[in-house]
Structure 1
């Protein structure tokens, strides 16, 4: 499966990419605004932090069809293999359809329902991202929506990929992995929590102490 980071924190991207094969990095307008770095400066910095590898995702922001298409072209001029994120709205579906005709890859985002997500990929999006924790916050069941959408894709668009997003806990992400998501995009803090169990550090320290007490050396 593909694990992506959902962040504009270049230092964190570099740190995690150094220890794990991160497949890509996603951003959205809110994440970029929170970081304070202009998007067209940020994207090359993210690419460099990943060692020139991986796939970048960035979202259009214009309110009109024409504006979103123009945004997409500007993003692709900055990073030529970038995947353009487009919200699944009536205007967004038009944009996805047009960009697909131009051979520009897209991710259908702001997805809160399985049928909505399916429309995004049938319009041409290569990827689709349901918002797991946001669905939960509205009284829905995020993992259930992911499961339904995954089933729809398997039946109607098996070549498309579900990239679950919007997580508030490692458990939410794990549930989506168990469902069979081909990809998940994690905030940095959630990624770190997967390997932050205090018991792990205690076990490693015990191994080191017993080894050093017996052999009086730190290495093999």
Structure 2
């Protein structure tokens, strides 16, 4: 399973890369805007934070077919080995199909339904990102939508990879990880919650105190 981070915070990327292998970083217009930095300054800095390797994804801004294609050309001409995120709208499907013909890899984003995601796969998207928590917020079932989409992809487009996105809790993310999709993209806040159980710190502290009481030191020798 590919593990990606959903952030533009370079320090968080460095911190988490020091703990676990990170396969890539996804961004979106909101994340980039919140950083206050130019996307063309930010993306190289993110790649450097990953050690110069890994998947790097950035999203088009324009709502029109022509604008999406132009945005994709601008992004890929200025940032090497970039995967372009395109919203799965009617115009987005046209853009994905055209960009695929040009050899530009795309990720279909803003996916709220299995059929919608499958249409993006048919149009040529290499990657798909269902918005799990946003599906739940609309009264749907995010993990169930992921299961349905994974079934369609496994049967009909096995070369396409689902990279689940949009999580508000570790449990939500864990459910999608167990489905067997190709990847998951987490914000640093959710990653941190995976390893933030107070019981862990309590156990480590207890053992450390027992050792110190016996040997008057916090080291082996």
Indicate the residue corresponding to 1:101 in structure 2: 101
CA distance in 1, matches of 2:215, 2:126: 55
Deviation readout 1:190-212 (Å, 9 max, x if unpaired): 01000000111111112222223
Q: Does the 8 A contact of 2:61 with 2:71 survive in 1? A: yes
Q: Where does 1:51-200 land on structure 2 (aligned, <5 Å)?
A: 51-200=51-200
Unaligned runs of 5+ in 1: none
8 Å contact kept, 1:43–1:78: no
Distance in structure 1 (CA, Å) of the matches to 2:78 and 2:202:
46
**1:29 maps to what in 2?**
29
Preserved CA contact (<8 Å) 2:40 2:79: no
SS of the residue 2:125 aligns to: coil
Q: Whole-Å Cα distance in 2 between the matches of residues 123 and 211 of structure 1? A: 61
Contact 2:99/2:105 (8 A) holds in 1: yes
Distance 1:119 1:17 in 2: 34
In the TM superposition, residue 104 of structure 1 has moved relative to its aligned partner by 1.0
Which deviations, in whole Å up to 9, do the C-alpha atoms of 1:75-102 show, x marking residues without a partner? Answer: 1122211100001111111111111111
User: Following the alignment from structure 2 to structure 1, what is the Cα–Cα distance between the partners of residues 31 and 194?
Assistant: 22
Give 1:13's aligned residue.
Answer: 13
Query: 5+ residue gaps in structure 2?
Result: none
Deviation at 1:167, TM superposition (A): 0.4
SS of residue matched to 2:18: helix
> Residue 182 of structure 1: CA displacement?
1.5
Query: Shift of residue 178 of structure 1?
Result: 1.4
1:36-47 alignment runs, 5 A limit: 36-47=36-47
Q: Deviations over 1:95-148 (max 9, x none)?
A: 111111111111000100000000101111110000001111111111110000
